[in-house]
């Protein structure tokens, strides 16, 4: 498994970097200690298109799909997106705050975007994830744990219970290879 490198801005080698405007500075003295795993597909349960890229770059055409008409005005992003084939895209440098968690709480700390990295997996609550996605996710997790003082890797559902369900019941937590 080839290792990934994270530069001093928080850009990952081997990732296709497409900068999202939906980002800002982290609060002063906010260490990156949390990784939040999500799932996303646009349109829902359709894989391989450019909907996620368009959403994260504020270019989603509300006429392209009925679901897009409901969400095209959202201003959201994630640090990373792992496609079904395992390819890795990055939208926000790790040193900056991506807008992925929304209203959230982890162990008494509000606003998880302040201290977390968001990783979106192309998928849904209704389909299993691909082996290539776990391979890329594990490479990324190792790099992130080497670069930052990560204390927990959790799902979006863990920081927004009742509001979010991802990464969903088909995400196999046992396939994560965490560094010691």
The residues annotated as belonging to the active site are: 120
Provide the token pair at 126. Answer: 């209704």
HSE (side-chain half, CA atoms, 13 Å) at 168: 16
CA separation (Å) from 46 to 50, 62, 121, 160? 10, 16, 13, 24
The span from the CA of 158 to the CA of 171, in Å, is 13
């Amino acid at each position: 498994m080839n290792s990934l490198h994270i530069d001093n801005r928080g850009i990952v080698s081997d990732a296709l970097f497409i900068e999202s405007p939906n980002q800002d500075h982290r609060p002063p003295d906010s260490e990156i200690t949390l990784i939040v795993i999500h799932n996303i597909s646009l349109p829902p349960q359709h894989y391989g298109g450019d909907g996620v890229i368009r959403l994260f770059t504020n270019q989603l055409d509300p006429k392209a799909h009925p679901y897009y008409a409901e969400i095209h005005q959202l201003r959201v992003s994630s640090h990373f997106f792992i496609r079904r084939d395992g390819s890795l895209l990055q939208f926000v440098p790790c040193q900056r705050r991506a807008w992925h968690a929304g209203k959230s709480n982890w162990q008494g700390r509000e606003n998880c975007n302040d201290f977390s990295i968001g990783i979106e997996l192309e998928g849904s609550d209704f389909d299993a994830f691909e082996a290539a996605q776990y391979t890329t996710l594990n490479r990324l997790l190792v790099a992130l744990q080497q670069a930052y003082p990560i204390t927990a890797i959790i799902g979006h559902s863990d920081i927004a219970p009742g509001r979010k369900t991802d990464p969903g019941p088909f995400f196999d937590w046992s396939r994560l290879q965490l560094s010691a």
